Amino acid sequence: MQLAMWTYEGPPHVGAMRVATAMRGVHYVLHAPQGDTYADLLFTMIERRGERTPVTYTTFQARDLGGDTADKLKTAITDAYERFQPQAMLVGASCTAELIQDDPGGLAAAVGLPIPVVALELPAYSKKENWGAAETFYRLVRTLAGSKGATPPPPPPCGEGEGGGGSGEGQARERRAASPAAPCSEPPPPLTPPHKGEGERRPTCNILGPTALGFRHRDDVAEIRGLLERLGLTVNVVAPLGASPADLARIGDADFNVVLYPEIARTAAEWLKRQFGQPFTTVVPIGVGATRAFVEEVASLAGLDPTPILADERTRLPWWSRSVDSNYLTGKRVFIFGDATHAIATARVAASELGFKVVGLGTYLREFAREVRAKAEELGIEALITDDHLEVEKAIAALQPELVLGTQMERHVAKRLGIPCAVISAPVHVQDFPARTSPVMGFEGANVLFDTLVHPLMMGLEEHLVAMFRDDFEFADGALPSHLAGHAPMDAPPAEPAPDAGIVWEASAEQELKKIPFFVRGKARRNTESFARQTGIAAITVETLYDAKAHFGR
């Protein structure tokens, strides 16, 4: 561990809180000292939730360490059950309480509650928030999904069910919904879509992965659910977001699972595949191309025709990315950092759908480093795998991109460096939980993503044009738009970086430098001064400026 002023992820018990807070009828008893109750603010202040986080803390203090902290935990468990009457309970310890080794799971079992109690063992000093969320969801699914009672019968040998007793597809569907995966290597046949008048049910799926405090999870679920229903599917359960323990008990009834956020849901989806024979999707529908591939993958799993959906994409990204000033957008250098799902998807959209040049790609999730490295290699760059925001800042400063896409921290870094930026991944602040519906998944999400990636650059172009015409009488620093005449003058623009004390810039060269876009002006100044030092030039002229540009452009 290291002491830092900022971190991309909290300890794993914060991940458990994200799952508990997302669900209904689940309560989390957290063995923790008084100082660890800060996590409530993440949900009430940043996500602006309208109800209290479903967490009870034991809040032991230093003086309690000489007594029996185990009794405080048992009392907290009993009181939480009597007060909140949950359908299921999570019990665990925070990173601080882990050191006193009170065994929350054993103590909860000794209390003997009449509801399922899931004991969480989350190693706080080796794992972090997203792993904690994934482990918590997996433990809940494993505990509750098999709570139907009788063990399902084993499936028939491969090849049976082709004749008599109903259709082969119907039997295959029943096997996938009610039994472990078949012991043969032959994949299950795709579902046959229902025909009008036959009364056969629609194919069903679960949507797995969305949690509280996730980046646009609420809106992504609404977009993808609508897409699945237009395709002809019935959504069985969405989990963890909005699900109850009773919902998790019927999660095995679906034909397959849609995994929207692999960081959270992949472990549970793999278990459901082993236990119930449910396949799961591998394409994350972020961007137009990925959404098309997602629709085709889902249609293949469900035995449906994707053509009507693909013919009615309802997205403007492809045309807008061609119709906007391609000379201005094409080749823009972009740095991307975030969780693995959003970083990889954003890099794909930036490179293949908008024509940007990705010069940096990274993630703070070491568990998904392999996937990020593979994408970076495909783009011809080296991935940055780190959870130290200072390393990320150093990489951004060295690469001097024209656009930074990242988390809340990269927003701060980019603003400090004067680079246009946008947030595309958690962790985020309050402004990235908008009141409006603003998904990043699906076809509508592609529209939102276009705005997110392009608008900072368009604002940069506007500021660049203002800077170019600053000496015009209508664009002087003290001038105001005509409709604001008579009001106080606008604030002066931010000061340029201080020039090298040993090098003199002629007035004409300074004037020419101001014509360079503000977000790369600092780099142009540094490169020119470096060129002047290398060539022994004491006074920089306009000619020197362009000689330096030619030198560094080779």
Residue 301: pLDDT over 80:
yes
**Two tokens, residue 489:** 């003058």
**Two tokens, residue 311:** 């013919």
Residue 471: pLDDT over 90:
no
Q: Which of 131, 352, 115, 76 is nearest to 245 (CA)?
A: 115
Residue 189: pLDDT over 60:
no
The answer on whether 36 is annotated among ligand-binding residues is: yes
Cα 52 from Cα 197, distance rounded (Å): 48
Degrees, nearest 5: CA angle 198-200-206: 155
Residue 29: pLDDT over 70:
yes
Cα 26 from Cα 5, distance rounded (Å): 32
Q: Which of 335, 340, 489, 482 is nearest to 417 (CA)?
A: 335
Q: Which amino acid belongs to residue 495?
A: A
pLDDT at 501: 61
For residue 366, give the DSSP letter.
Answer: G
Exposed/middle/buried for 162, CB within 10 Å: 0-12, 13-18, 19+? exposed
The answer on whether 317 is annotated among ligand-binding residues is: no
Beta bridge partners of 527: none
Cα 11 from Cα 76, distance rounded (Å): 22
Helix, strand and coil content of the chain, in percent to the nearest 5, comes to 50, 10, 40
Q: Is the preceding peptide bond at 456 cis, omega within 30 degrees of 0?
A: no
Average pLDDT for residues 317-336, to the nearest whole number?
A: 75
More confident position, 464 or 228: 228
Average pLDDT for residues 228-251, to the nearest whole number?
A: 97
3-state SS assignment for residue 388: coil
- Could you report the per-residue pLDDT of 334-391, keeping only the tens digit for each? 999 999 999 999 999 999 998 999 999 999 999 999 999 999 999 999 999 999 999 9
Average pLDDT for residues 12-32, to the nearest whole number?
A: 94
**Two tokens, residue 308:** 């009507």
Cα 301 from Cα 228, distance rounded (Å): 12
Average pLDDT for residues 112-118, to the nearest whole number?
A: 94
- Could you report the per-residue pLDDT of 42-60, keeping only the tens digit for each? 888 888 888 889 999 987 7
pLDDT at 549: 87
pLDDT at 176: 41
204-208 and 357-363: which strand pairing? unpaired
Residue 500 pLDDT class (50, 70, 90 cuts):
low
Residue 326 pLDDT class (50, 70, 90 cuts):
low
Helix ranges (DSSP H) in 286-405? 288-302, 307-310, 317-323, 326-329, 340-348, 369-378, 389-399
3-state SS assignment for residue 104: helix
Among the ranges given (181-185, 190-194, 240-244), the one the predictor scored with the smallest mean pLDDT: 181-185
| pTM of the predicted structure, to 2 decimals | 0.76
Catalytic residue list: 325
Residue 409 CB contacts under 8 Å (≥ 6 apart), including other chains:
6, 8, 389, 392, 427
The answer on whether 232 is annotated among ligand-binding residues is: no
